[in-house]
Amino acid sequence: GENVEQHPSTLSVQEGDSAVIKCTYSDSASNYFPWYKQELGKRPQLIIDIRSNVGEKKDQRIAVTLNKTAKHFSLHITETQPEDSAVYFCAASTGSPHDKVIFGPGTSLSVIP
Amino acid sequence: EPEVTQTPSHQVTQMGQEVILRCVPISNHLYFYWYRQILGQKVEFLVSFYNNEISEKSEIFDDQFSVERPDGSNFTLKIRSTKLEDSAMYFCASKTSGKSYEQYFGPGTRLTVT
């Protein structure tokens, strides 16, 4: 089955700097890659997603890139703010009607004011 | 904006007891899921449900677990005889159709087994 790896497990950046989180997946059938932000005790919140027919997607300060050949995808957050501090999960899915979302182990991001 | 809701927000139970976690998916959604997250760990898939039957289940979802859609709005997860290791946050999710990719997560139920 699908396995998603994620690095780093913890990341600390100064406010205003960029943060990059990298993920790999194993199942070549995966074609949908969502990213979730989870604050303590809250639900995973979808912040951006990318499908396999595109290599890059941007939404304001957040961008994702996908390399299907290498089975790598990354999250880039620019101009980080303290409110960006949270745990970020990458995930993968085949997008088939019933398919589950397989989560990575998470990255705890701390933005230092 | 419609949201997935879950009750209770926190459930404390004794080992060996049965618990039922309840979810109300978004009204026009057809695909339903349960996930769990042990404290400090990743979110893990338990089961998917469509057209009143299980589509897929993980290794975690053993004979102690069952799901049901007893009426047109509720989606429940039952654990027959809880173990200490069942302590976790349980998230319900739903999506609108087979062509849709995004799953909408509920706020979760924190289950504590003592």
The confidence band for B10, taking pLDDT boundaries of 50, 70 and 90, is: very high
3-state secondary structure (DSSP) of residue B104: strand
Q: Is the pLDDT of residue B12 over 90?
A: yes
CA distances, A78 to each of A20, A53, A87, B21, B88 (Å): 9, 24, 16, 39, 33
- For range B77-88, the mean pLDDT: 97
Q: Is the peptide bond before A105 cis (omega within 30 degrees of 0)?
A: no
Residues B48, A49: C-beta atoms closer than 8 Å: no
Distance CA A40, CA A46 (A): 15
Which of A:22-41 have CB within 8 Å of B?
32, 34, 36, 41
pLDDT for B97 equals 81
A49 touches chain B (CB under 8 A): yes
List chain A residues with pLDDT less than 70: none
